[in-house]
Amino acid sequence: MPLFRPKKSLWQRLKDVALLDVGVLARGGVDAGSIEQLETLLLEADFGVPVTSRLIAEVERQAKRGAIRTEAEFLGALRDGIAQALTAGNGAPTFSLGEDKPAVVLVLGVNGAGKTTFIGKLATRLRNEGKRVMVAAGDTFRAGAIDQLRVWAERSGAVFVGAQAGGDPAAVAYSAIDSAVTRGMDVVIIDTAGRLHTSEGLMDELRKVARVIAKRLPGAPHESLLVLDGTIGQNAVAQARTFAAAVPVTGLVITKLDGTARGGVVVAVHEAIDVPVKFVGTGETAADLQPFDAATFARDLVEG
């Protein structure tokens, strides 16, 4: 089952620019012009310079030793290189809540990335697994976010903990964990404010929220998930670096992959902060949230 269907796969884009000359491959190499075009295409697909350089080097290496002589072998080399990049370093995609109850999931990200929708989808997924779930509205700067989260909680059957607009997000998180302990919840999902990632005030606020959570429940948060919009290209890398510098991020959630023709940013973000991708979102319904699998993603990205 595919994780997502890009608007145009890498293979389709390669064919559009008439890149691949199998005759050249069969003679044991990839010509310089083709390599340059492949490099441009990968950069345009938002893989970023470090990943692109490694993929190009691997394709050249395999071609020179005669391991790439057909289109299928070329696609295989590209697909395998992308999967390896996604599993390198801290690449384990497992969403782990541990044995402690309640497990605390802190959700980070800028406004518009799909953070609230992701929380609703995750709550639905956990409820379907039979877990008792609480959702806390820690984004107190947008009344709309609180209302939207309440609707998702009602749909999923999760318990909702609200907040006054303009209230202290750390206090909301602390109270939510208190309530979850008292009520025997399995999981608490805590939303956070998502003003511009360049705001140092917001980063200080997030640090405070994380500290308060850890003080109230040692070992928490058990997962800190950063939600990134897959359509914004290299801006997602800048966002990831800023958030990861403020709060230890345990996993990435890439949303709106159904709206992009590129997708390489998934690899670039993992490369930039060495944090595994754990979920991808490909639509608006609760079912459009998939656990991440590097091999499946690489196949979808390359072959469509």
- Residue 167: per-residue pLDDT: 87
Pick the CATH number of 103-293 from 3.40.50.300, 1.20.1300.10, 1.20.1630.10, 3.30.70.20: 3.40.50.300
pLDDT of residue 291: 93
Q: What is the pLDDT of residue 104?
A: 98
Q: Determine if residue 274 is left, alpha or beta; phi over 0 gives left, psi from -120 to 50 gives alpha, anything else beta.
A: left
Q: Which of 268, 141, 270, 135 is nearest to 189 (CA)?
A: 135
pLDDT of amino acid 70: 79
User: Going residue by residue through the chain (304 aa), what tens digit of pLDDT does each one get?
Assistant: 667 666 677 778 776 765 555 555 555 556 667 778 888 889 988 999 999 999 989 888 888 888 887 778 888 999 999 999 999 999 888 998 988 899 999 999 998 899 999 999 999 999 999 999 999 999 988 878 889 999 999 999 999 998 777 889 999 999 999 999 999 999 999 999 887 666 788 889 999 999 999 999 999 999 999 999 988 988 999 999 999 999 999 999 999 887 665 789 999 999 999 999 999 988 777 778 899 999 999 999 988 7
| Sequence spans of domains, the chain | 10-87, 103-293
Task: For the domain made up of 10-87, give the CATH fold.
Answer: Four Helix Bundle (Hemerythrin (Met), subunit A) (1.20.120)
Q: Is there a shared CATH topology between the 10-87 domain and the 103-293 domain?
A: no
Q: What is the DSSP letter of 229?
A: E
pLDDT of residue 280: 92
Strand order in the sheet with 133-136: 159-161, 133-136, 187-190, 103-108, 223-229, 251-255, 277-281, 289-291
Contacts of 296 (CB under 8 A, 6+ apart): 1, 2, 3
Q: Which residues are registered as beta bridge partners of 108?
A: 226
Distance between CA atoms of 226 and 239, rounded to whole angstroms? 9
| Secondary structure (3-state) at 36 | helix
